[in-house]
Chain A
Amino acid sequence: MNELSDERLNEYLDGVLDAAARQDVETQLAESPEAQVRLAELQTLFVAFGDMAEVPLTRDLSGSVLAALHEPVKPETVRWLRYLPWLQLTAVILLILLFWATIQGWLLNGRTFLTATLPTAQLPDLMIGETVRMWSTAVWQSAQTAAPQFNLAINQWLLLTLALVVWLAGNRLLFTNHNGGSHG
């Protein structure tokens, strides 16, 4: 007959064996004094665990826990809603890429518009902007992706941009500190 393993004895004391396995262990124990000694050692350990009394706590932790609490409990939210700002941001980026050619045209005309609206304004040199525009145009053309034309008046574009800023602020993607509060 095979020697009774330590694993088997542990499982026996943990009470996880089925009736047949338990009977088998007890039969082997009856025939093996050595296994009985090992079982007794394990039982002593189990008793020692049970005899370990709880150590009393000498001070009340509730005061210090309360003092350390700063943040309010977050309300329960549906799991997928936690990712909604990121989904919305992804959609915004995709839309910008989709209408990039139109946005480029608007940027090109932007100076003219600002000059007409704010004749006394000192506008920054747009050389850097022009360089970026030429580079991005080259990248776009090399990708050979045709962008749909979306003709809007410039004031309509301004309104669209303003709406985007308001939406981003409303979703706390702009004008918020890292703790989730609002500036000012």
Chain B
Amino acid sequence: MVHDDEQTWVRLAQQGDKAAFAELVRLHQTAVFNVAYRLFGRRQDAEDAAQEAFLRAYRALHRFDRSRPFAPWIKRITVNLCLNWLESERIRPQVSVADMTPREEEAPGMDQWAHQSPTPEQTMVQQENARRLRQAIVQLPTRYRAVIEYRHFQELSYEEIAVVMERPLSSVKSDLFRARKMLGKQLE
């Protein structure tokens, strides 16, 4: 479902209204940044990629179907951009200690408030698992990172991932299952 305001901003932005596009940036920048951060593991690189993704989205805005939600589209642009940067070795992914300070992990996810409030001990365990999982994702091969991002964070189906990545369905499933196996070993 597309939010009415978002549709309005997209329509105005397609007509050249940059202030409307700025509203779209503010609405989606955290999500886009997190896509890049999961793929790169470094804050500065993720911010650079997020900014570039929005620039590319603006240039391609005339091709965007505004009856569809904006978020999946900008996230796919972000993933493609990040993969290009990784493959061109413009970005060498690594999770630095400075980037993984406990403060960053304190932002509560929606799921935490949907259930009983976790104990401090549970919160610490969750934060530690999240940190280890981020490190493990960043160490995956580029293609495996992409399928994990699409499946677990953008909730695409196998078939949708195959279309987006232009790869056979069997290859997508194989990559996804292998990536999970590798991540599982890292978390043991």
* Chain B interface residues (CB < 8 Å from chain A): 13-16, 18, 21-23, 25-26, 29-31, 33-34, 37-38, 43, 47, 50-51, 54-55, 58-59, 61-62, 104-105, 107-109, 111-112, 126, 129-130, 133-134, 151-153, 157-158, 173, 176-177, 180-181, 183-184, 187-188
**Interface of chain B, helix or strand or loop or mixed?**
helix
- Does B13 contact A61, Cβ atoms closer than 8 Å? no
Taking a contact as CB atoms closer than 8 A, the residue among B26, B31, B109 that contacts A51 in the complex is B109
What residues of A have a CB within 8 angstroms of the CB of B29 in the complex?
57, 60-62
A49-B26 in contact (CB<8A): no
Residues of A within 8 A of B157 (CB): 16
Roughly how many angstroms separate A182 CA and B109 CA in the complex, as a whole number?
Answer: 52
- CB-CB nearest 7 A-B residue pairs: A53-B109, A62-B25, A62-B22, A49-B152, A65-B54, A74-B62, A52-B130
Residue of B nearest to A60 (CB): B26
Interface size on A, residues (CB 8 A): 38
Q: Which residues of chain A have a CB within 8 Å of any CB of chain B?
A: 6-7, 10-11, 14, 16, 41-42, 44-46, 48-66, 68-69, 71-76
Q: Are B30 and A52 in contact (CB under 8 A)?
A: no
Chain B, Cβ-Cβ closest to A53: B109
**Minimum distance in angstroms from A42 CB to a CB of chain B:** 7
- With A6-B177, A55-B107 given, is the CB distance from A73 to B14 under 8 Å? yes
